[in-house]
Chains A and B, each alone.
Chain A
Amino acid sequence: DGGITQSPKYLFRKEGQNVTLSCEQNLNHDAMYWYRQDPGQGLRLIYYSQIVNDFQKGDIAEGYSVSREKKESFPLTVTSAQKNPTAFYLCASSIFEGALGYGYTFGSGTRLTVV
């Protein structure tokens, strides 16, 4: 079955550490995205990538980095520069035909907690 796999499901980070969240899809989607969700709030876009080796900053990119070396993979690194990283992180993918989108498929998320 096609889908998006995020790992780990839960991640604990010490102050000052960098951590990397994994996101893999086998849907053959060109576009991939990272969102952050804080309790009781909406989804905020961190980074997105339309094609391999290209990505754009979203609304809250500071303190995060990404890479897109393969179509299937879009890992997110939460760096020590991110001052408040505790949140629910969601990866998604999508296909577009011009400006017409067909909706996202989401992974099941990674819950990151700073300890």
Chain B
Amino acid sequence: RKEVEQDPGPFNVPEGATVAFNCTYSNSASQSFFWYRQDCRKEPKLLMSVYSSGNEDGRFTAQLNRASQYISLLIRDSKLSDSATYLCVTTSGTYKYIFGTGTRLKVLA
């Protein structure tokens, strides 16, 4: 089993839709969780950290479920500019992060 697993998509959604991605992780000792966004041929950029209590940043909401070992990202009112690949990231021991392979989102006009 991969340490971090994501559905590769693509998720094709109309503008204004709500879309959710899940990511499962295998290391129950993982302490830190993040969602990154990567545009085509660019470096990944931190979208948001994921906290145990869940957190929201504008149209984006992240949740952590430790019992089932998954994190989620919800995007409300999708914009064309949200089209990108979303990477799930967690820690593996000290000083090491593990990336999922990413979920591709395409928002359609």
Contact = CB atoms under 8 A, between A and B. Distances in A.
Interface of A: 31, 33, 41-43, 45, 48, 50, 88, 90, 94, 96, 98-109, 111
Interface of B is mostly: loop
Contacts of A94: 95, 97
Contacts of B97: 33, 94, 101, 104
A101 B31 contact: yes
Contacts of A48: 95-96
Interface string B23-41: 0000001011010100001
A103 B95 contact: no
B55 interface: no
Instruction: Summarize A's interface: helix, strand, loop or mixed.
Output: strand
Given A99-B29, A109-B42, 12 more contacts: A42-B87, A43-B44, A43-B99, A45-B96, A99-B93, A100-B91, A101-B91, A101-B95, A104-B36, A104-B44, A104-B97, A107-B43
A100 B32 contact: yes
Identify the 9 closest CB pairs spanning chains A and B, nearest first: A42-B101, A106-B43, A101-B32, A99-B31, A43-B99, A50-B95, A101-B91, A103-B46, A103-B34
Nearest to B46: A103
22 contacts: A33-B97, A41-B101, A42-B100, A45-B96, A48-B95, A50-B95, A90-B44, A94-B95, A99-B29, A99-B31, A99-B93, A99-B94, A100-B32, A100-B91, A101-B32, A101-B91, A103-B34, A103-B49, A104-B36, A104-B97, A105-B46, A107-B43
